[in-house]
Every structure is written in C-alpha cells, then in structure tokens.
Amino acid sequence: MRILGISGMFHDASATMIEDGKILFAGHAERYSREKNDPFLNKQLMREACQYGMPDVIVLHESSKLKNQRRFGQMTWGTVMSTIKSSMQEPTMEDWLQKFYPQFNGIPVTNCLHHQSHAAAGMLTLQEEWQDAAIVTIDAIGEKQTATISTWESGKRIMLRHEVNFPSSLGLFYSAVTSACDLKPMEDEYILMGMAAYGKPVYKERMEKELFTHSTDDWHNCLETVDMSKGLPKDFISQEEMQFDTKKVKFDLAASAQAVVEERVIAYCRLAFKYSGGSRNLVYMGGVALNCVANSLIYEKDVFKNVWIMPNPGDAGSSLGAAALYYYEQTGKFIEWEGPYLGTNIEGDWPKEKFLDSLRKGSIFGVANGKAEFGPRAFGNRSLFADARGTTIKDKVNKIKRRQEFRPFAPIVLEEHAHEWFDMPGGKSQSPYMSFVAKCLRPDEIPAVVHADGTSRVQTVNREQHPDLYHAMRQWYAETGCPVVLNTSLNIKGQPIVNTEAEAEEFAKHYKVKVHCRDD
C-alpha cells in the first residue's frame, strides 16, 4: 500500500510518500520553488514524491471543512459581506489537487485532523516501543485547536484528553511578539528565541496579566489567552516606549515572551502527565516544540524520563503524520523511522576528506551530499561547517548568512564526548536533532557555538546516525582533541536550504564559500 501524505495551504507545504510502512520520500515545497515557507504544493515536489509510483490513497493533514467553519465563525457582521466572497474563493487542498494534479483523479482522498497529524508524526515514528505515553501538541492553530493532550496505551489509538481552542493560542502569542519586534511571524520565531538571551523579562508580569486569562498554576487553563490573531493589542506597548530604546525594548519583549512560554509549556506538560496516569514518556509536537530552550526544561522538571520530538514537529512534518496515521489505522503498525534524511538525493561519497581538509585550513565550507533533511534544521547533508574554536568564526558565518550578529550557531559533537563538553538536560547522552539546549562546560574552547546565556543547541552524532560524518569527526578529534564542530544549515537568511547540486554550485559561486558534494 502506497500512501501520499500532504500538508499545505497555510505555510511550509510538504509531501511524504510511504509504502508498506517504509518512508520513501519526504520533502518541503520551498526547496523546489525557492520561496521560503511556500504554502503551496508544486509540480517538482510532487514529481519527486511520486517517483516510486502513484499512491493508492492521498491523506491530507487537516480538515478543510472544519477550518473554513472556524474562519467563517471569526467574521463579524460588519465584515462578513465584504469578506465572504474572497473567503469562498480561497482554495482548499482538495481544490488545489483537482486543479493542478489531474493525474490524481480517481485516487481516493481522505484527511485526518490537524492535531491528529501532529500527534501521529511524533507517536508513530518512535524507534522504541513505549507501552504508554503522554502526547502534547502546541502550535498556532489547526482547524480550531491550538493545543491538545492525548494519551497512548499499547495497542490502542491516540486518545484525545484535553484541548485548547482558538482564539486562545500560545503559538499565536509568541508570533504576535515576534511581529511586534519587527520579525516575520510564522517564520522568525526562532530568532525571537535567540534574542531572549540579551534581554530581561521586564514585561512578563504584564503579559501574564493582560494577555492570559488564567495563572500558570491553573494547568487546565494555563494556555488560555486573549485573541492575538491580529498581533499584540495596540495599547500593550506605546510607540514612545518602543522608540525610546528600540533595541533594548525588543530584547526585553523577547525575554519576557520566552519566559512566559517556558513556564506555560511546563505547566501544560504537567497536566499531560496527570492525564496519562503518570506515564514517564512524552511525545511533544507542534510548532512550539521547535523552541529548544523551553524543551530543555521539560527534563529539568523531572516529570518525564523519555521525551521524543520528531525533528520536523511543525506543519511540514504533518504530511508524514497524516500518512503514518492512515497506515497505522489500516495495519496496526508503526512506520519505519530511520532518521530525517528523506529528501532530494545528491549521489556520491560523502566528502569526508574534503571536510577534514577544509577544517584544517580554517575554512568556512558547505557540504551538500546524500538525501536532504526533512525539517528546518540541517544535520550534515545540507550543512555549513566551521571550526568551533575560532573567536571570530561566529561573526564571519553570520556575515556569510546575512544574519543578525547576535544569532547563535549550533555545535555538532561526538555523542560519546557530549557529557564532557555540555551539561545535557536530564543527564541524557543523545540529542541528534537539536531539540534541546545544554549549558556548555568549556565555553572558552569553543566560543563560536556558545550563546550569550552560555548554552548551545547541541546535535550529537554517532556511528548509526551518520557514519561518514561520525568518522570524519572522530578523525578531527584525534588530530585536535576537540570533538566539536560548528554546524548550521546551508542557506542564507530568508532563503530555503540548498536542495540540489546545481543550487550548491550556485551558492558557492555567489557567496564565495566552497561547497563539497562528494569526495572525488
């Protein structure tokens, strides 16, 4: 049985093809259109997804009908007549497929719910068997749900236990602050997270009082907010206050929003622990699960022993979740998750020798080889690398990537040495997908990958995860005594990650950075 999962029409469209439980392909529309967070499917993506054959069924990641019902419910009588025509003309995913993909005519099209696809993308990609689990999903908005708690018991379905509905939304709250800081909502939230380390949470108490309807201690209602779908209320912060010291105010807003999110994510996870009957296993998904600083606190609070965040927890990952859920409902089996390398393939041997030669020369260089990563982060196949020990490297890489100077970079570290360099949350030894931050124990030795607050968004690597990268890192450690290298995605700010060899060559030419596609 071949299943095509699709996510799209809001932001970051994606497609996943699985067959008999094996993930054949998963990719993002933006990597083909070259439009960041492209919400629409395109023919290049669909052609690659269907290279293994046409699907037997197509599964959409949400219900267009329920989403449109919520949209009409948001309208007021004063605006309904002027907006109803344009709203009716806005295409659904079903419309999009029918109009642009006649080759799918006759193939059954079904759907799951938005938060179901998030939960399934996490639960059904587990590599180890958990007899029970709490499943938390927090994002901006689905059909109407903005946060849910589900539970898992072996041999049973994902069971919904608690929900938060629009207009309350922790995700929209964070996006509203992102917009107030002149960043792009639904895209630059990770920049806001980085800004938080430079500010003080001076607006936190006011945010709690004016933007949330219940205290953090009220776990059942801790994510209830005022409607922030149009941004922060205009009277929350005056233009005079913003203009007095714009940079400081923005950093303080970021720090305040981050502090609010951290406390309320933890509170909601405690509620999930309660609903699960005390399960020590947590699956955490949704766009808010990309906030790796908040994620780290889940371990520190000593509620959950095991936490799984699939490396593409946002909407794009839901194309995989939709396909996985349909497969589970038909067969009772999980899909085979072997890692995030699921996209466009650049053939040839991973460039181990060129990787090492470039590090020895002190170069900043890229690698584009093998299957592209599924998700917003690069793990070695579409990466920009540098020696983490250099005091000027961070500024140089930020300049190449056209990023703000305060932006941090992630370290990749040999898994067996991670505990020597980082205080890993919960004493864990693995962090293969940059889902958490950890306090750096030797910041003076690797300044290029340590943020202003002394933490690093750690990626560990082992022999099974990425054999070629692992062996190259082992050699680098043997030569230098340092098992850490700077690793960031091979892209420029505001642009999608490099996908093809031709794009890698163009990147190298335009930005004067060598990009290695193979050892030859």
- Sketch the domain layout of the chain as residue ranges: 2-117+316-338, 128-309, 342-516
CA distance 295 to 76: 38
Q: What is the pLDDT of residue 290?
A: 97
Backbone angles phi, psi at 204, to 5 degrees: -60, -50
311-338 mean pLDDT: 97
**DSSP state letter for 188:** S
The predicted pLDDT at position 397 comes to: 93
Which residue bears the tokens 């889902």?
435
Q: Tell me the mean pLDDT in the region 51-55.
A: 96
Is residue 500 classed exposed, middle or buried when 0-12, 13-18 and 19+ CB atoms within 10 A define those classes?
middle
pLDDT at 176: 96
| Residue 517 amino acid letter | C
The whole-angstrom separation of Cα 51 and Cα 405 is 42
pLDDT of residue 81: 38
Q: Is the pLDDT of residue 496 over 60?
A: yes
Site of tokens 């759907």: 111
The answer to whether 111 touches 62, Cβ cutoff 8 Å, is yes
Q: How far is CA 74 from CA 43, 67, 179, 229, 425, in A?
A: 33, 11, 21, 10, 41
Judge if the upstream peptide bond of residue 167 is cis by omega within 30 degrees of 0. yes
Domain 128-309 class, CATH top level: alpha beta
State the pLDDT at residue 73: 66
pLDDT, tens only, 55-73? 999 999 999 988 888 776 6
**Is it true that 2-117+316-338 and 128-309 share their CATH fold?**
yes
| CATH 3.40.640.10 assigned to 342-516 | no
Q: What is the pLDDT of residue 80?
A: 39
Residues 6+ apart with CB under 8 A from 456: 408, 410, 411, 422, 437, 438, 440, 449, 450
- Poorest-confidence range of 307-321, 410-424, 426-440? 426-440
Q: What is the pLDDT of residues 167-199, one digit of tens each?
A: 999 999 999 999 999 999 999 999 999 999 999
Residue 263 has pLDDT above 80, yes or no: yes
pLDDT surpasses 80 at 401: yes
Residues 6 or more apart in contact with residue 218 via CB below 8 angstroms: none
Third-level CATH fold of 2-117+316-338: Nucleotidyltransferase; domain 5 (3.30.420)
Q: Are strands 365-368 and 515-516 parallel, antiparallel or unpaired?
A: parallel
CA distance 23 to 343: 10
- What's the DSSP call for residue 73? H
Average pLDDT on 228-249 reads 86
pLDDT at 85 over 70: no
pLDDT averaged over the chain?
93
The pLDDT of residue 89 is 55
